[in-house]
Structure 1
Amino acid sequence: MPLFTLGINHHTAPLAIREQVAFQPERLPSALHEMLDKMAAEEAAILSTCNRTEIYCAAETPEAAIEWLASHHQLKRSQIEPYIYALPTEEAIRHAFRVASGLDSMVLGETQILGQLKDAVKVAEDAGTMGSLLNKLFQRTFSVAKAVRSETEIGSNSISMAAAAVRLAERIFASIKDQHVLFIGAGEMIELCAAHFGAQLPKRMTIANRTIERGESLAARFGAQAVTLNTLPEILHEFDIVISCTASPLPILGKGLMERVIKQRKHRPVFMVDLAVPRDIEPEISQMDDVFLYTVDDLSVIVKEGLDARQTAVIHAEAIIDQHVAEFMHWLESRAVVPTIRNLRDHADRITRNELDRARKRLSSGEDAERVMEQLAHALANKFMHAPTHALQHAEPHERHDMIRLVSRLFHIPEQH
């Protein structure tokens, strides 16, 4: 069954569209099963991050996948179709290799996407929606990503989202050392942000999370305080910098709350970064005076700096990927002949068994062993040669030359000119 990739990412769609087709982590297993049922697909995996939602699938056509993606998110097909890319087999393979290697990321060479892709594969494995084709694809994908990172300098100058957030904050405040920083969430992205901001030695850092245990665990690593999300209305005004990245399907911070916060702060500025998809912070807040709100798309300006210095590494990385794509396509194409080879072997086994049975009966009846062996060899040769000989003798004039060349190649015999 054909392989394809269908998706929406930061190259093709703005954040307002991407967040509408994002999948909550806890809903991915049920979504995978629903997709296989609705599409009659054999295998599937879903990668959903702040920058992309992608479906890797073994199915007859991507058309059904587009319909399913829209209906699953209660959208009209026309709302998302202009932003969707549907990649056929070879392009899908190349895309997977480039994504895992950090070549398709907003941050060129970033490593977080590889971990996110591995998580997506694990979810699909646990859900039972992975088969031999996708297993082989992702095994090779991870191998290619390792080769790119070890054989090129693609990641040496990369700028993470967390580092970009620090750069932006430094444009707002004279020194981060004098600021109070709030992190909302306790996932990998918040952990990276805490590490980058923590390196600037801010006056205070606080982790707000739905479960206090997870927040306390992360806070302990950075000398921060941990609180629950329900305390935000009471404490939000204390913070100069707010970084949010949760898996909440709805905004956590609304415009009404921030209007009260700004009054409490007597209009001292607040720097906010929303790294979540769907967004944690209502976009209307960006229109408020004294609030500097940035999303993942806004950070792209920062993370693209220094791109020219990495172009040599990109050329090398693309060459590595091209080689592995060719190898994977060769493997994929070789799978097409497996049923024919199996049938050919089964056919040969049946002929061999039948002739051996006849030979054993002759031997048991007392016939000369040497004569039986000669007749067995002669019978096997005749049976094996009957089909190709018949095909050659009855070939149409326009196909005879090609068939002669094919038979000569199959049986390693010289062509007669």
Structure 2
Amino acid sequence: MGGTVVLLSLVASHSDIDLETVAKISADASQVASVVLASASPVAGAITLATCNRYEIYCEVPQSEDVPAARSEVITQIAASTGLSEATISTALVSKTETEVIEHLFSVGAGLDSAVIGEREIAGQVRRALNEAQAAGTATGSLVRLFQAASRTAKDVGSRTSLGSRGLSVVSVALDLATDLSREPDWGSKNIVIFGTGAYAGATMSLLRERAAHNVSVFSASGRSEAFVATRGGTALDESTLEAALEAADVIIGCSGSDHRLMAADIASLDRGSRPLIAIDLALTHDFDPELGSLANVELINLESVRMAAPEEQAQSLRQARGIVLDAAEAFAAEQRERAADAAIVALRRHTQKVLEAEVEKVRAQHGCTAAAEEVEFAMRRMMRQLLHVPTVRARELAAAGRAGDYIDALETLYGLEVEVPVAPSMKKSGTCPVTGIQGTEAGNLAGADSIQQAG
């Protein structure tokens, strides 16, 4: 059956499974989109979205019959990259297709599916996921339009509801928890060590400045701390200065998600006396040993703590936000359906135009350029426009009802027409994305917030 391309997403998030499983699936799975496109699977394009509490991959496949094979290939590649069994991956990933994909991504981008409802970091992560897929050449035009529409919807939710007015985020809720646990709530007097230099580290630094924190040091296992503090302030640490900074620290914050994990034994071996320490671990794969919380004078705050402490938003704001998301998702789905209708209308008009021109040529050959011939030609063209009116209207009506495929099948049966729905070229062949849809300055603004998986 003819029709539009099919959208497929495979989702593992905090809403369905524990964060440990999400972390395992996310490990080394960032290149899955490229690997799947290089395989013999029917996947034409893919975008990966990995954040502090989710791993999702969005795919475009040519038709609904290709969905099982596409899902199977994605699961196979994630299993290969993470070392987990395909059965484990298959159980953890929830499959969504068509309108479910659209509604889910729009909800995610607007912060409605986050541990902290209305959080602002996720919108930047959606933009960054699109940026990275375009740079890697894995994003098709349909996926680009999907992610751009999700970003616009997130902006609408932020501007038209009160969800984003308090500026809540994973980082802000974690810092609020730390304030509640601290004997001295004044951040200006605290010695703070940040692990990582990604977007969450940047967001943390900004919020610490808002709280008048002055003594902030930054450690990066990959050596990027100097460049980080050059633009954001703070003191850069390296392996030789880290120990002294940890001995004097009141708060340590993990934002890197790298392989460089601070162990409980490392803290226990320091000369800290009875000095209290608050450890905030915002990395999905844990920057800090979970056993840190069992040490004397150490309080551990992790993503699970943040999720439990996240305040509930007003029901009215949530209803309004969900309404905006659903309306935007339906509008996008309708636009997708209309693309198939447009292709069918173009095919029918080309066919009738070809028949018309052939008949007009016969009239001209028989009667020449006479007034009578012109009148006949005018009448034929007007009749053709009238004949096309109802089929055109029906095409759009059926497309709006999700039945564009029925219309295309009818054209193929009645007229022998082959309707080619315009889609972006498969990234398997092109290597780079031919459709970005992003203008110059907008592209520069799409840096957004980084995934918490970025190593620091």
Give the TM-score taking structure 1 as reference length: 0.80
Aligned to 2:397: none
> Residue 368 and residue 88 in structure 1: after superposition, are their counterparts in 2 closer, same or farther (change >3 A)?
closer
Distance 1:176 1:282 in 2: 25
Aligned-pair CA distance for 1:128: 2.1
Contact 1:212-1:227 at 8 Å conserved across structures = yes
Paired letter, 1:40? P
> Residue 289 and residue 156 in structure 1: after superposition, are their counterparts in 2 closer, same or farther (change >3 A)?
same
The counterpart of 1:299, out of the listed 306, 315, 335, is 306
Aligned-pair CA distance for 1:136: 2.1
Aligned to 2:78: 69
Distance 2:214 2:156 in 1: 41
Distance 2:165 2:314 in 1: 8
> Residue 125 and residue 375 in structure 1: after superposition, are their counterparts in 2 closer, same or farther (change >3 A)?
closer
Contact 1:355-1:380 at 8 Å conserved across structures = no
Aligned to 2:275: 268
Contact 1:207-1:226 at 8 Å conserved across structures = yes
Paired letter, 2:110? S
User: CA-atom RMSD, angstroms?
Assistant: 3.1
The counterpart of 1:100, out of the listed 98, 104, 109, is 109
Paired letter, 2:43? A
Aligned-pair CA distance for 1:91: 1.2
| CA offset digits 1:54-86 (Å, max 9, x no partner) | 111112313433333222322112223333221
> Residue 371 and residue 225 in structure 1: after superposition, are their counterparts in 2 closer, same or farther (change >3 A)?
closer
SS of residue paired to 1:193: helix
Contact 1:356-1:376 at 8 Å conserved across structures = no
Aligned to 1:191: 202
Paired letter, 1:265? R
> Residue 229 and residue 359 in structure 1: after superposition, are their counterparts in 2 closer, same or farther (change >3 A)?
farther
Aligned-pair CA distance for 1:283: 2.3
Q: Which moved more, 1:121-130 or 1:250-259?
A: 250-259
Aligned-pair CA distance for 1:377: 5.8
Aligned to 2:120: 111
Aligned-pair CA distance for 1:368: 6.6
Distance 1:265 1:203 in 2: 21
| CA offset digits 1:308-348 (Å, max 9, x no partner) | x5211011111122222222222222223333223212211
Q: Does residue 35 of the first structure (1) align with residue 36 of the second (2)? A: yes
SS of residue paired to 2:314: helix
In our comparison, the structure showing a higher alpha carbon Rg is 1
Contact 2:262-2:288 at 8 Å conserved across structures = yes
1:205-354 mapped onto 2 (5 Å cutoff)? 205-209=216-220, 210-220=223-233, 224-229=234-239, 231-248=241-258, 250-261=259-270, 264-303=271-310, 305=311, 307=312, 309-354=313-358
> Residue 48 and residue 325 in structure 1: after superposition, are their counterparts in 2 closer, same or farther (change >3 A)?
same
Contact 1:240-1:271 at 8 Å conserved across structures = yes
SS of residue paired to 2:285: coil
| CA offset digits 1:97-136 (Å, max 9, x no partner) | 1111111111111111111110111111222222221122
Distance 2:337 2:377 in 1: 40
The counterpart of 2:179, out of the listed 149, 166, 170, is 170
Paired letter, 1:32? A
> Residue 229 and residue 164 in structure 1: after superposition, are their counterparts in 2 closer, same or farther (change >3 A)?
farther
Contact 1:191-1:218 at 8 Å conserved across structures = no
- Which structure 1 segments of 5+ residues have no match? 389-402, 407-417
Q: Does residue 134 of the first structure (1) align with residue 147 of the second (2)? A: no
- Which structure 2 segments of 5+ residues have no match? 391-406, 411-456
Distance 1:129 1:239 in 2: 43
Distance 1:379 1:271 in 2: 80
| CA offset digits 1:214-263 (Å, max 9, x no partner) | 2322552xxx3222256424542221210011142x143123322312xx
SS of residue paired to 2:99: helix
Contact 2:252-2:279 at 8 Å conserved across structures = yes
Aligned to 1:412: none
> Residue 345 and residue 237 in structure 1: after superposition, are their counterparts in 2 closer, same or farther (change >3 A)?
same
Aligned to 2:427: none
Contact 2:75-2:90 at 8 Å conserved across structures = yes
Distance 2:239 2:104 in 1: 38
The counterpart of 2:215, out of the listed 204, 207, 219, is 204
Distance 2:88 2:241 in 1: 37
Contact 1:363-1:372 at 8 Å conserved across structures = no
Distance 2:296 2:376 in 1: 99
Distance 2:13 2:143 in 1: 21
Aligned-pair CA distance for 1:380: 10
Distance 2:157 2:232 in 1: 34
> Residue 141 and residue 229 in structure 1: after superposition, are their counterparts in 2 closer, same or farther (change >3 A)?
farther
Percent pairwise identity? 24
SS of residue paired to 1:242: strand
Give the number of aligned pairs. 374
SS of residue paired to 1:336: helix
Aligned to 2:449: none
> Residue 23 and residue 353 in structure 1: after superposition, are their counterparts in 2 closer, same or farther (change >3 A)?
farther
Contact 2:12-2:56 at 8 Å conserved across structures = yes
Aligned to 1:391: none
- Of structures 1 and 2, the one with the larger relative CO (CA 8 A, separation 6+) is 2
